[in-house]
Structure 1
Amino acid sequence: MITGAAFGIGRATAVLFAREGARLIVTDVQREPLLALAGELRQTGADVETVVGDVAVEDDTRRMIGAASERYGKLDVLVANAGIIPLGDATEVTAGGWDEVMAIDGRGMFLSCKFAIEAMLPTGGGAIVCLSSISGLAGQKRQAAYGPAKFVATGLTKHLAVEWADHGIRVNAVAPGTIRTERVQRLPAEPGGAEYLAEIERMHPMGRLGEPAEVASAIVFLASDEASFITGVVLPVDGGYLAQ
């Protein structure tokens, strides 16, 4: 199951899992883009179920996870990807903005992992891959709400990995640098966005932004049996950003 699958890293991950022969539950709050993705994947022969919902809403997230067991009898992999990326410093972020990002990127990730673990326990385990960020491992400007929310993802990954390792459940995360998602491509149209994007691109030693497919490859690896002795890892996919 992949949350936030309609765009960006989630979409690229769904495409790659489908190419590898996975049976997919794809979820998002945006119905039409999600249905369009499912239609494209089915044209390649993929077995895909869609669930429209909000990971911050407990009943929605329970329903998403339940769809895997109902359709396929079990849940082997969760990619907890759904999230929003607001930009702003501490003077710009409102209390409401803080609550929104924590609800989706924090509470939503916790609920996704919680219900996935409950589904995996009776069937012998599985793998969870959370979406953290370089902002969840190091400080960045204009990330006053988003960065702390991604520290939630990093912490949740490590604690759940230790908590459930002896039950056959592996929990890892990827920490992408700045990735050329649809959201990032819209930045130049926002106040200060073009300058921010130019600055952040220069800060990546490889001299470019990443592509969603590059993050998807790391996610699929961490979810696969090839990573069978890896848990509690937060893997940077960042063009060298955190190596500085």
Structure 2
Amino acid sequence: MNTQAIPAGLGRMKGKAVLITGASNGIGYATALLFAAEGARLIINDIAAERLEALREIIAAAGNDVQSVVGDVSKDADARAMVAASVSAFGRIDVLVANAGIIPEFDLLTATAADFDHVMAVDGRGMFLTCKYAAEAMLQSGGGAIVCLSSISGEAGQSGQAVYGPAKFVASGITKHLAVELATRGVRVNAVAPGTIATAALAKLSDEYVAGVTSRHPIGRVGRPVEVANAILFLASDEASFITGVVLPVDGGYLAQ
């Protein structure tokens, strides 16, 4: 379990109401800590209730307004409830970080239709639902920023990702289409596309797969969750006020090849 303390910040999210899905581990966890350090008021979500509560306690102990909402982003009622929690607690939602997702390793011949449907439900439908209800609330309060989690697998083909990769192409597509749809209405939509990142999800993949994909990162190592969180913070902040529809690689040069 993560036990990081909250670092000192610069107030870039001061007073902003932020919903982070999939917050109990990995990139979501690092993002929650970083946004808390920057002064955000947080709604954190995950299906892992115990880990989520531990994170809530860390953030609350640092003096931030924070509530946890256990729920499955692929379920319409749960996605609605996450956004409603922010509106109820803070009167609005300013930022959505649509991070929740699963990373199974399937090639085309071993994947089943059920595998495909499950990944698409979480990584595709779940992102659509949280973006839908967050944008709906943002439009009622003057705008906001959405940052989706895509992947290098959502920007380029990879062996062994016949299910996850297409789901992340959905994430990249949602980002671009919603950015155009919402641009004149005060809602910016961007995404990050992480390369191989040192998370618990990575540890579940085969050593052969991880070694192979890591070796293809020109920078010579895997990334750290906080390095992705820093990019998410930038895209969500007012510093990125003229940026929308971007899928930003955070990948050690992987996609530059």
Q: What's the counterpart of residue 218 of structure 1? A: 231
In the alignment, structure 2 segments of 5+ residues that lack a partner are 1-18
For 1:56-135, what aligned pairs fall within 5 Å after superposition? 56-135=74-153
AA matched with 1:11: Y
User: Is 1:46 aligned to 2:67, yes or no?
Assistant: no
**Selected match of 1:198 from 211, 218, 240:** 211
Query: What displacement does 1:186 show?
Result: 3.3
User: Is 1:241 aligned to 2:254, yes or no?
Assistant: yes
Query: What displacement does 1:80 show?
Result: 0.3
- For 2:141 and 2:204, locate their aligned partners in 1 and report how far apart those are by CA, in whole Å: 42
Query: What displacement does 1:235 show?
Result: 0.1
Instruction: Tell me the SS of whatever aligns to 2:129.
Output: helix
Query: What displacement does 1:15 show?
Result: 0.3
Query: What displacement does 1:171 show?
Result: 0.1
AA matched with 2:42: L
Q: What's the counterpart of residue 155 of structure 2? A: 137
Query: What displacement does 1:53 show?
Result: 0.3
**How many residue pairs are counted as aligned between the two chains?**
239
Q: Which has the higher helix share?
A: 1
Query: What displacement does 1:168 show?
Result: 0.3
TM-score (norm 1): 0.97
In the alignment, structure 1 segments of 5+ residues that lack a partner are 188-192
- For 1:3 and 1:230, locate their aligned partners in 2 and report how far apart those are by CA, in whole Å: 22
Query: Runs ≥4 in structure 1, deviation > 3 angstroms?
Result: none
Q: What's the counterpart of residue 177 of structure 2? A: 159
Query: What displacement does 1:216 show?
Result: 0.1
- For 2:60 and 2:89, locate their aligned partners in 1 and report how far apart those are by CA, in whole Å: 16
Instruction: Tell me the SS of whatever aligns to 1:21.
Output: coil
Backbone CA RMSD of aligned residues: 0.6
